[in-house]
């Protein structure tokens, strides 16, 4: 979708919103898949309520992009624009055991920065790509921890009230790869309360998680992490592997040879290829195990 109306363009400039025409979403997602649309880069949280009022008044559909690391975007010209926060400098401020973090901050760099200041707890997340906002929305987790456990406060734009609100941790429910945020809520910033731990000890935890990840996941390849959520008490990766589906391909969309719940873009996969692979694997697992796998990856298709 392209914004060409002169009045909208003038308002965007007044709001300090940077417009990048015809951006390829393939370049903004870890899967390397996705068509083109206009990208609106937001420099000030405070401009968001007015920006969204402007877009809604002009029937410009929109989606919020974090780090693009858990996302499968449709092909071709996309019917909505994409909003993305620009990270301020600095994007993490520490105050005792509290870390005030902008949603656009890189997750890995945030974990490392906190570690260097003897704040731990998030070691398991070190190899998870993406932004802090994206991790928060999904309640990202690995190796027995999840980000939600450390959330003290969240600054969020709530589409329902059209306001920026501060939510306390206890007002939000964090479940396995799921939170109580509405789909159109936009994460803006979070305050994490992290346990004190000596840097060396945190580093050791980070090394162990990195090693586990390196030995079991296809890190050098284009992927969106795990495609399916694990059904209660079992592993989607193990089931797909047991069915002998590693290497199964539709075009360049392929089940990873290393971890069967990672589907990689082995070249120039389209969203159509990837969606066909997902549907095919889901059907085979359903037939063999009677289990309906639920997507972990977020799909923006239409």
Catalog residues that contact ligand EPU under the rule CB under 6 A.
142-143, 216, 225-226, 229-230, 235-238, 241, 259-261, 296
CB 112, min distance to ligand EPU, A: 18
CB half-sphere exposure, 142, CA atoms < 13 A: 20
Shortest separation between residue 293's beta carbon and ligand EPU, angstroms: 10
| CB of 56 or CB of 294, closer to ligand EPU | 294
Q: Which is nearer to ligand EPU, 97 or 235 (CB)?
A: 235
Element housing 53 (H / E): helix 48-57
Q: Which is nearer to ligand EPU, 53 or 216 (CB)?
A: 216
Q: Closer to ligand EPU by CB, 92 or 226: give it.
A: 226
Minimum CB–partner distance for residue 242 and ligand EPU (Å):
7
Shorter beta-carbon distance to ligand EPU: residue 41 or 177: 177
For residues 142 and 277, which CB has a smaller minimum distance to ligand EPU in the complex?
142
What is the number of other CB atoms lying within 10 angstroms of the CB of residue 13? 11
Residue sitting closest to ligand EPU (CB) = 225
For the bound state, the minimum distance from the C-beta of residue 120 to ligand EPU, rounded and expressed in Å, comes to: 17
In DSSP terms, which residues pair with 191 in a beta bridge? Answer: 100, 153
Which tokens go with 243?
């069915």
Q: Of 102 and 296, which CB lies nearer to ligand EPU in the complex structure?
A: 296
Residue 65, H or E segment: strand 62-65
Angle among Cα 78, 70, 216 to the nearest 5 degrees reads: 145
Question: Measured between alpha carbons, how far is 168 from 142 in angstroms, rounded to an integer?
Answer: 23
Query: From CA 127, how far away is CA 216, in angstroms rounded?
Result: 12
Output the smallest distance, CB 257 to ligand EPU, in A. Answer: 9
Helix, strand, or coil here: 294? coil
Contact 23, 82 (CB under 8 A): yes
Least Cβ distance, residue 294 to ligand EPU (angstroms): 10
H or E element at residue 275:
helix 271-289
Q: What's the closest the beta carbon of residue 138 comes to ligand EPU, in angstroms?
A: 8
**In angstroms, rounded to a whole number, what is the distance separating the alpha carbons of residues 157 and 280?**
37
């Amino acid at each position: 979708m392209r914004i060409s109306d002169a009045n909208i363009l003038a308002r965007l400039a007044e709001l300090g919103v940077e417009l990048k025409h015809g951006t390829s979403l393939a370049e903004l997602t870890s899967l390397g898949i996705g068509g083109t649309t206009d990208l609106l880069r937001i420099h000030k949280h405070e401009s968001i309520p007015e920006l969204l009022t402007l877009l809604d008044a002009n029937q410009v559909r929109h989606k919020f992009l974090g780090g693009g690391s858990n996302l499968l975007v449709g092909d071709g010209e996309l019917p909505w624009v994409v909003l993305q926060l620009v990270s301020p400098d600095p994007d993490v401020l520490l105050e005792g055991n509290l870390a005030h973090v902008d949603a656009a901050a890189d997750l890995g760099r945030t974990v490392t920065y906190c570690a260097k200041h003897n704040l731990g707890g998030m070691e398991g997340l070190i190899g998870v790509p993406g932004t802090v906002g994206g991790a928060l929305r999904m309640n990202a987790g690995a190796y027995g921890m999840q980000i939600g456990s450390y959330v003290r406060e969240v600054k969020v734009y709530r589409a329902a009230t059209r306001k920026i609100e501060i939510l306390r941790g206890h007002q939000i429910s964090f479940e396995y790869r799921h939170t109580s945020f509405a789909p159109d809520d936009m994460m803006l910033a979070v305050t994490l309360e992290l346990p004190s731990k000596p840097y060396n000890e945190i580093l050791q935890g980070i090394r162990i998680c990195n090693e586990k990840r390196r030995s079991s996941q296809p890190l050098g390849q284009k992927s969106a992490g795990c495609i399916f959520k694990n059904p209660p008490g079992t592993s989607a990766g193990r089931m797909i592997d047991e069915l002998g589906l590693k290497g199964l391909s539709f075009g360049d969309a392929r089940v990873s040879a290393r971890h069967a719940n990672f589907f990689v873009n082995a070249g120039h996969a389209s969203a159509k290829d990837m969606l066909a692979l997902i549907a095919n694997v889901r059907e085979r697992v359903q037939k063999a195990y009677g289990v309906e796998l639920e997507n972990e990856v977020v799909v923006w298709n239409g």
